[in-house]
Amino acid sequence: MLILGIETSCDETAAAVVARDADGRGRILADVVHSQLADHAPFGGVVPEIAARAHVEILDGLIDRAMRDAGVGFSDLSGVAATAGPGLIGGVIVGLMTAKAIADVHALPLVAVNHLEGHALTPRLTDDVAFPYLLLLVSGGHTQFVAVEGLGRYRRLGTTIDDALGEAFDKTAKLLGLPYPGGPQVERLARAGDDARFDLPRPLMRRDSLDFSFSGLKTALRLEAEALQPLDDATVADLCAGFQAAVTDVIRFKAKLALKRFRELTGVAAPTLVTAGGVAANKAVAGALAEAAATVGGRVVVPPGKLCTDNGAMIAWAGVERLAAGLVDGLDARARARWPLDADAAPKLGSGQLGAKA
């Protein structure tokens, strides 16, 4: 099985070709990503109109490059998959409409992929992880624990009630005058800072809840920064260190609780915790998760950095899994700005049944 995957949900334009062998294992034949970072950096964040326009200008050439890198033609494909949401609606429309055109012209099955499902299924491509497992999705738009029980069977155990963690990192960086994207800048400076200088809060850490909140932490940091203006380099580093230490304490506490809940829910004695999203690349966060998993005899799986952030390979692989199960979508599949992964909130699996080419 051979699938073309298209991702345009935010500020990366991506296309990939992924194969599924007879033994069920996946291989990435091509994975091309164009970052729009330079386009959005002057504004300190993603501008939806600029992102959508860039997708229009870039996507066709990117698909052509991915197909050439993979050494395949459209006639070799078993289907085409594209992100249908959630995301910035203008960009989602660009990718989904392009996939519909390819599917229609070449008589290929179309798979409209939930972007979050792409993240959730990535460890099955990279590490052959078996169901069930626990997912911590930590990105600029989402922070949530999800029990991945099977294809299309996702149970959200906890989520952020305000800012996503990646958003909190970026807003903290902007407040401190650091360049966009801010997350890596905060992590870099935190290594040189004193994480004990500022007594920052650990929101919701003492509650028996898997939900997150980062707005209060961000506000506390802003008040500390305003009281010490103008900020010198050492103070900026200490604020970054204090912020990251607070975040990792919360992540460690919540991960321990989530793993215990997951073990009770599934009966899996040694659970696997998968993390995905841009913040998964943060070494302090990764360390906190490893410590949490060790307390319950579990393990942490982190896909390669390139596959933690937005990419076409994860969309192609989600397309592979769904197509292998006979789940396809019609050309009337719609783009969604919001699309929860939870089974109770998401559309029913498979708007149609169609045999796939092997």
User: Which SS3 state, helix, strand or coil, does residue 43 take?
Assistant: helix
Q: What is the pLDDT of residues 54-76, one digit of tens each?
A: 999 999 999 999 999 999 999 99
Average pLDDT estimate for 284-304: 93
Q: What was the pLDDT predicted at 332? A: 96
pLDDT category of residue 181 using cuts at 50, 70 and 90: confident
Q: What was the pLDDT predicted at 348? A: 39
Q: What was the pLDDT predicted at 343? A: 57
Average pLDDT estimate for 139-167: 93
**Mean pLDDT of the residues in the chain:** 92
d(Cα 87, Cα 274) in Å, to the nearest integer? 22
Q: What was the pLDDT predicted at 354? A: 35
Average pLDDT estimate for 301-305: 91
* Contact between residue 218 and residue 172 where contact means Cβ atoms under 8 Å apart: yes
Q: What was the pLDDT predicted at 125? A: 96
Q: What was the pLDDT predicted at 356? A: 33
* Contact between residue 141 and residue 166 where contact means Cβ atoms under 8 Å apart: yes
Q: What is the pLDDT of residues 102-122, one digit of tens each?
A: 999 999 999 999 999 999 999
Average pLDDT estimate for 181-185: 91
d(Cα 83, Cα 99) in Å, to the nearest integer? 9
Q: For residues 348 and 317, which has the higher predicted lDDT (pLDDT)?
A: 317
**pLDDT over 70, % of the chain:** 96
pLDDT at residue 306 above 70? yes
CA dist 161 to 9, 17, 167, 215, 232, Å?
22, 36, 13, 9, 33
pLDDT at residue 258 above 90? yes
pLDDT at residue 347 above 70? no
Q: How many CB atoms lie within 10 A of CB 307?
A: 23
pLDDT at residue 357 above 50? no
pLDDT at residue 142 above 80? yes
pLDDT category of residue 45 using cuts at 50, 70 and 90: confident
Amino acid type, 193: G
pLDDT at residue 287 above 90? yes
- Beta pairing, strands 79-85 & 26-35: unpaired
Q: Quickly tell me which residue has 């990764």 as its tokens.
A: 286
pLDDT at residue 1 above 50? yes
Q: What is the pLDDT of residues 211-227, one digit of tens each?
A: 999 999 999 999 999 99
pLDDT at residue 342 above 70? yes
Q: Which residues contact 134 (CB under 8 A, 6 or more apart)?
A: 145, 146, 147, 148, 157, 258, 259, 262, 271, 272, 273, 274
pLDDT category of residue 18 using cuts at 50, 70 and 90: very high
